């Protein structure tokens, strides 16, 4: 297939694009390289890879450009509630402009839309499924829910509601919760946790990439549907995550702050059974990710590897 990955040089894209190339797809990465990292340099030798340095908010350019492809995977995004708060106007433009552009596309073009499970907001004690009410709290969550609606209404699309990602990527991020906690555990030897009872679901970045290729391989059976993508065994509170990290970094001091609050107020547990029934399973555990990150942080010292 001829595939366009917008934001394809990002945290997820720099894992996904090499896998798409490996199995023989022709891939175009459109990215504005705003974080000044170089994750795809080792793939530039591939004749099946094209790089376009451009911004997805350029309506006139993008509407024409999308039409050249069989499949679009829109990864370009200002990801996460704190990031979107920093520049609301541009963040909304990146998310919503792309969704509207994609909604106008010829129906023959397939779309795999990676969104977020943060739309579940505060989910209560029951597992959130794809049928659960969406109650986004942050602007990021609200925009992504609306973008998902626009793209699914257009049809010939799959939406993947991603759990909080973790793991090592060529375009590294330290602001993701697991990645950030391990970095602080190594460099500061302590974690100060606000509202430690808040729960999240987690998933390794390589398992997200595997979910996307799984959708490509099983398109006819999966299209026009939404799927949670996470490790159901990795539904954890922030304190439970910190305690798991302490198993590998014994000198870590965990401090639950009595004053202060988490700017991202979501709190829920998630079921990923619907996707698992199609044949996808997570391969990498939280333990795998922690061990991987400990090795990576012997290389990475700078805090600049972050979206925040």
CATH class assigned to 2-165+202-231? alpha beta
Query: What tens digit of pLDDT does each residue of 228-286 get?
Result: 999 999 999 999 999 999 999 999 999 998 776 666 678 999 999 999 999 999 999 99
**For 194-223, what is each residue's pLDDT tens digit?**
889 999 999 999 999 999 999 999 999 999
Q: What percent of the chain clears pLDDT 90, i.e. is strictly above it? A: 73
Predicted pLDDT at 308? 53
**CA gyration radius, the chain:** 19
pLDDT of residue 62: 92
Long-range contacts of 51-55 (CB under 8 A, 24+ apart): 52/28, 54/30
CATH superfamily of 166-201+233-273+283-296: UDP-galactose 4-epimerase, domain 1 (3.90.25.10)
Tell me the pLDDT band of 97, cut-offs 50, 70 and 90.
confident
Backbone angles phi, psi at 56, to 5 degrees: -70, -10
Over the stretch 116-164, which tens digit does the pLDDT of each residue have? 998 998 877 789 999 999 998 888 889 899 999 999 999 999 999 999 9
pTM for the whole structure: 0.93
- CB-based contacts of 122-127 (< 8 A; 24+ apart in sequence): 122/265, 122/266, 122/267, 122/268, 123/267, 123/268, 123/269, 123/270, 124/268, 125/269, 126/269, 127/232, 127/269, 127/270, 127/271
Query: In this structure, what are the phi and psi dihedrals at residue 250, rounded to the nearest 5 degrees?
Result: -60, -25
Please provide the distance, in angstroms rounded to a whole number, between the alpha carbons at the two ends of the chain: 35
Q: What interhelical angle do 205-217 and 13-22 show, nearest 10?
A: 40
Which residue carries 């995004």 as its tokens?
77
Count of CB atoms situated within 10 Å of the CB of 23? 10
* DSSP secondary structure letter of residue 146: H
Domain with CATH 3.40.50.720 in the chain: 2-165+202-231
């Amino acid at each position: 297939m001829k595939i366009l990955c917008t934001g394809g040089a990002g945290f997820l894209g720099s894992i996904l694009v090499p896998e798409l190339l490996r199995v023989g797809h022709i891939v175009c990465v459109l990215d504005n390289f705003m974080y000044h990292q170089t994750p795809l340099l080792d793939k530039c030798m591939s004749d099946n890879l094209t790089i376009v340095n451009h911004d997805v908010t350029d309506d006139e350019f993008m509407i024409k450009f999308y039409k050249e492809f069989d499949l679009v995977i829109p990864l370009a995004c200002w990801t996460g509630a704190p990031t979107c708060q920093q520049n609301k106007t541009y963040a909304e433009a990146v998310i919503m402009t792309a969704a509207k552009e994609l909604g106008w596309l010829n129906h023959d073009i397939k779309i795999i839309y990676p969104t977020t499970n943060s739309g579940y907001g505060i989910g209560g004690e029951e597992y959130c499924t794809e049928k659960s009410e969406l109650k986004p709290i942050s602007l990021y969550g609200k925009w992504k829910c609306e973008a998902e609606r626009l793209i699914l209404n257009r049809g010939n699309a799959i939406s993947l509601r991603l759990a909080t990602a973790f793991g090592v990527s060529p375009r590294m991020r330290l602001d993701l919760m697991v990645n950030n906690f391990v970095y602080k555990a190594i460099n500061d030897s302590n974690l100060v946790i606000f509202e430690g009872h808040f729960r999240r679901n987690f998933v390794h970045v390589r398992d997200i990439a595997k979910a996307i290729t799984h959708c490509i391989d099983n398109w006819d059976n999966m299209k026009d549907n939404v799927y949670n993508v996470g490790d159901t065994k990795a539904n954890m509170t922030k304190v439970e995550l910190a305690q798991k990290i302490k198993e590998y970094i014994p000198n870590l001091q965990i401090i639950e702050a009595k004053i202060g609050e988490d700017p991202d107020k979501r709190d829920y547990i998630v079921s990923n059974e619907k996707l698992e029934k199609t044949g996808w399973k997570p391969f990498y555990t939280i333990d795998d990710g922690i061990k991987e990150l400990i090795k990576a942080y012997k290389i990475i010292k700078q805090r600049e590897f972050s979206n925040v």
